[in-house]
Amino acid sequence: MKISRILLAAAGLAVLPAMYASRPVTEQGKVILHAWSWSLDTIAANMKTIADAGYDFVQTSPVQRCYVGDNGGRALFSRPGDPEMGKWYFYYQPTDWQIGNYMLGDRDDFKAMCDSAYKYGVKVLVDVLPNHTAVDHTAVLPSLDAAVGGHENLFHGNGFTDITDYNDRLQCTTGKMGGLPDVNTENPDFQYYYMQYVNDLINLGARGFRYDTAKHIGLPSDPLDPKATENDFWEIFTGRKGVKGLSMLMPDSLYIYGEVLQDRNVKEKEYTEFIDVTASNYGHALRDALKKGNTLTTDLNSWHHTAAPEALVTWVESHDTYCNENESAPLTDDQIRAAWVFLTARAAGTPLFFSRPEGSTRENYWGTNRIGNRGNAEFFHPEVVAVNKFRHAMKGQPEYLSFNDDGTVGAVSRGTEGVALVNFSAKDTNVKLTTALPDGTYTDSVSGETFKVSKGILTGKLTPNATAILYAN
């Protein structure tokens, strides 16, 4: 029997494990698809396409019970002229930690999706958010209140006090963010209840988690909320210790990362003692290069992070940069693909591809505007697939970055085995770069464009925002 498919323990009945490694697994060489707002059955139905496109992980949106807003409508965002109402972010407003919500599917749908993922060799990451409840905290279900000994025990002492300074660690880790009351994640009763949810997900086939608003959950060195005696959430939910006799299943086999958005006084390196973290500043640098059409004033060599590159989850854009302020939404699909090729060809980090909404355009960001539908076809565009597979093929090869004189073209060389070329500009651009590839003629399998190497110089031409993947063999 394969351990990834057997029922390890009934949810809530796992026994305490021996001590595990001090840090969860890292996933260098792997690629994540963020199936944003896809329903669970939509993900399951597209699993073969996901696998064939070279993704190792598929990340779901939150699957716990959530606030039912806008009359239970399933629009991504309510807008004039559309009779369907809804908000995508309602699933980020928990009312209980049990599997299933009206937006994405129920517990059976989750299991069926995990079974499909196992069939095609894809691992499921679940977006989880223990840090807050719905804005309307009266919508919290009685089962959750009962589990923590009453509604008042669910929240931090500062949990209804608005954060005014996100760089004040006490405020950041215990205060109300964006109207969302802050859960007392250090309450052992809550930890025990939430652990049952985590173990249920693992039993059904989840193989990792993305922690939303992770920088708002305290580290051991952070100041304590008045209701807390120690900040031990991350120790418990990476398998280092249990709570009330219950521990997380399979901690040495899970991939866990957190949304730790970069700012002043964020303990980035300390978070990576427990989990991988997001390289939000590098995504900004990539988008800056796209907007300028060159890399002359943008440093793409540095990861812009204090943590080790191996501990980073990287992206060109995230659902937040696309949706919240539409900061990345005006970028064309061609531009996103170009930066994705550059990012994913690099040796370090674990890149995440955000699936934009079905039918979205630069004039209509929401597209068909329906939760549950598959995103647009970009996640399996030939250029995206080519670099996903290039990343797998180049695992273990060192990288070297180079740029042409005007900064319009960047190259990611991987040892002597291959090169990924990217045109950041919206114009035809000539390529002339040093390379370790052997002399010869090379053809990009997607565009059919040819490039030549002679005496260590690579030459050719790239059309606007085009890419090319070249292999030595």
Whichever domain contains 434, its CATH number is: 2.60.40.1180
Q: Which residue out of 56, 96, 259, 449 is catalytically annotated?
A: 259
Tokens of 266: 């964020």
Asked if 400 and 436 touch (Cβ cutoff 8 Å), the reply is yes
pLDDT at 10: 32
* Residues 416, 274 share a domain: no
Question: Which of 278, 302, 331 marks a domain boundary?
Answer: 278
CA distance 194 to 86: 27
Residue 57 falls inside a structural domain: yes
Residues in the chain: 473
Q: How far separated are the first and last CA of the chain, in Å rounded?
A: 39
Residue 348 falls inside a structural domain: no
Domain that holds residue 457: 409-471
pLDDT at 2: 29
pLDDT in tens, the chain (473 residues): 322 222 333 333 333 333 334 455 667 789 999 999 999 999 999 999 999 999 999 999 999 999 999 999 999 999 888 999 999 999 999 999 999 999 999 999 999 999 999 999 999 999 999 999 999 999 999 999 999 999 999 999 999 999 999 999 999 999 999 999 999 999 999 999 999 999 999 999 999 999 999 999 999 999 999 999 999 999 999 999 999 999 999 999 999 999 998 888 889 999 999 999 999 999 999 999 999 999 999 999 999 999 999 999 999 999 999 998 789 999 999 999 999 999 999 999 999 999 999 999 999 999 999 999 999 999 999 999 999 999 999 999 999 999 999 999 999 999 999 999 999 999 999 999 999 999 999 999 999 999 999 999 999 999 999 999 999 98
pTM of the model: 0.94
Cα-flanking dihedrals φ and ψ of residue 422, to 5°?
-140, 130
Asked if 422 and 391 touch (Cβ cutoff 8 Å), the reply is no
Query: Side chain identity at 1, as an amino acid letter?
Result: M
Tokens of 310: 């191996």
Hunting for tokens 């223990």 — which residue is that?
Answer: 130
The most distant pair of C-alpha atoms in the chain lies apart, rounded to whole Å, by: 74
Task: Work out the number of other CB atoms within 10 angstroms of the CB of residue 321.
Answer: 20
Residue 436 falls inside a structural domain: yes
Asked if 179 and 67 touch (Cβ cutoff 8 Å), the reply is no
Cα-flanking dihedrals φ and ψ of residue 314, to 5°?
-115, 155
Residue 53 falls inside a structural domain: yes
CA distance 375 to 355: 5
Residue 17 falls inside a structural domain: no
CA-wise closest residue to 342 among 292, 254, 283:
283
Whichever domain contains 255, its CATH number is: 3.20.20.80
CA-wise closest residue to 343 among 303, 379, 370, 381:
303
Asked if 382 and 353 touch (Cβ cutoff 8 Å), the reply is no
Tokens of 228: 């807390």
Residue 73 falls inside a structural domain: yes
Tokens of 452: 């030549």
CA distance 371 to 77: 9
- Per the structure, the count of domains in the chain is 2
Residue 70 falls inside a structural domain: yes
Alpha-carbon distance values, 248 to 26, 94, 184, 216, 232 (Å)? 18, 21, 19, 21, 14
Cα-flanking dihedrals φ and ψ of residue 101, to 5°?
-150, 165
Is 259 among the catalytic positions? yes
CA-wise closest residue to 339 among 311, 298, 308:
298
Is 212 among the catalytic positions? yes
Residue 353 falls inside a structural domain: no
- What single string gives the DSSP state of each residue in 138-191? GGS-HHHHHHTTSGGGGB-TTTTSBPS-TTSHHHHHHSBBTTBPBB-TT-HHHH
Question: Which of 262, 278, 294 marks a domain boundary?
Answer: 278
Alpha-carbon distance values, 471 to 51, 207, 382, 391, 394 (Å)? 22, 32, 16, 12, 10
Using DSSP's 3-state secondary structure scheme, residue 215 falls into: helix
pLDDT at 24: 57
Q: Which residue out of 200, 212, 417, 444 is catalytically annotated?
A: 212
Asked if 287 and 52 touch (Cβ cutoff 8 Å), the reply is no
Question: Which of 256, 278, 300 marks a domain boundary?
Answer: 278
